[in-house]
Amino acid sequence: MKFLSQFILVIFLSLFFACNSNKNNNTAKDETAISVDETSTEVKIKTYVYPNNLFTQNNDLNFYCIGFNTTGQVAFIDRPCNGGCGCCTHNIVIQDLTTDKIVSTLNLMGPEINSIEDHKADWIRNKERIATFLNSYGIVQTPLNVNNSNLINYNNNTFKVTSSHYLMDNNSEMYDNEMIYSARVLLNNVKSKIVTSGKQNNGESFEYVGYLKSPFSNQLALLFNKRSRGFEAEVDNEVLVVGCIMDPKFF
């Protein structure tokens, strides 16, 4: 009987330590799994490629749109050159399509001041800064195409874009004339609102050239060509971005 009791005790102790060993092993496995899961859930920063010119059929216009975000903002590249000094800029612009205000810019220019021939070199050199900047605003890069129609149908409503300008002599020795411009959107040919207006020294013309629609909302980026003469009488074409919400309550 004594031998039987000792035998049962030995079996019990063996099972007890075996269970604890398995529990420790399982705990280690669980901890390892958690560690792997934590690593796998790290936020990956999206990367971006240099956008194409959306006006390939028009040699006078250049517009490089990167994309939109879910909060009504658009990102594009601004790279005009000043005919007076021969210098250029190369910036990424974040614009709010509700207020039309510039939210932020990122300068991509290198140390050189001269005119840039290869803008993609700037992009490659700054690709990490660009990714961090655009990710911070939640910009999503998707294929984009400009629709050049001035009639936009959305949710059983028709929106019509019109633009106008006139030139006036401003009696200035520096500038030949002043251009007064404006753009209006009509809702179902009943109501309308002015979406932009302003003045341009040495202005020549102001015309609507198309729109981009946000893939996330009912907001449009209306595009206008604001043409003027530069310091050496060269033609400057600036694409002006104007936001518009396709909702009757905003008219």
CB 101 within 8 A of CB 95: yes
Any domain includes 207: yes
Any domain includes 198: yes
Closest to 82 in 3D by CA, of 116, 119, 55, 39: 116
Burial level of 187, CB count in 10 A (0-12/13-18/19+)?
middle
Any domain includes 128: yes
Quote the domain boundaries for residue 188.
64-250
- Phi first, then psi: what are they for 57, rounded to 5°? -85, -5
Any domain includes 34: no
Residue whose tokens read 């658009």: 74
Any domain includes 57: no
Q: Output the pLDDT for position 214.
A: 97
Q: Output the pLDDT for position 37.
A: 41
Residue 223: strand, helix, or coil = strand
Distance, in Å, from the CA atom of 241 to the CA atom of 211, rounded to the nearest integer, reads: 9
Q: Output the pLDDT for position 122.
A: 82
Count of structural domains within the chain: 1
* Pairing of the two strands 203-213 and 219-229: antiparallel
For the beta carbon of residue 251, count every other beta carbon within 10 angstroms.
16
For residue 148, give every residue at least 6 positions away whose Cβ sits within 8 Å of its Cβ, in sequence order, or none. Answer: 209, 210
Q: Output the pLDDT for position 167.
A: 92
Tokens of 117: 């021939």
State how far the alpha carbon of 138 is from the alpha carbons of 16, 50, 100, 194, 195, in Å. Answer: 55, 17, 18, 29, 26
Any domain includes 204: yes
Any domain includes 11: no
State how far the alpha carbon of 172 is from the alpha carbons of 82, 83, 121, in Å. Answer: 20, 19, 41
Q: What is the mean pLDDT of each run of 10 residues along the chain (251 residues)?
A: 50 51 44 38 76 86 95 91 63 96 89 60 90 97 96 97 90 72 97 96 94 97 92 83 97 94
Distance, in Å, from the CA atom of 50 to the CA atom of 90, rounded to the nearest integer, reads: 12
Entry pTM: 0.77
Burial level of 139, CB count in 10 A (0-12/13-18/19+)?
buried
Any domain includes 163: yes
Q: Output the pLDDT for position 248.
A: 96
- Phi first, then psi: what are they for 138, rounded to 5°? 65, 30
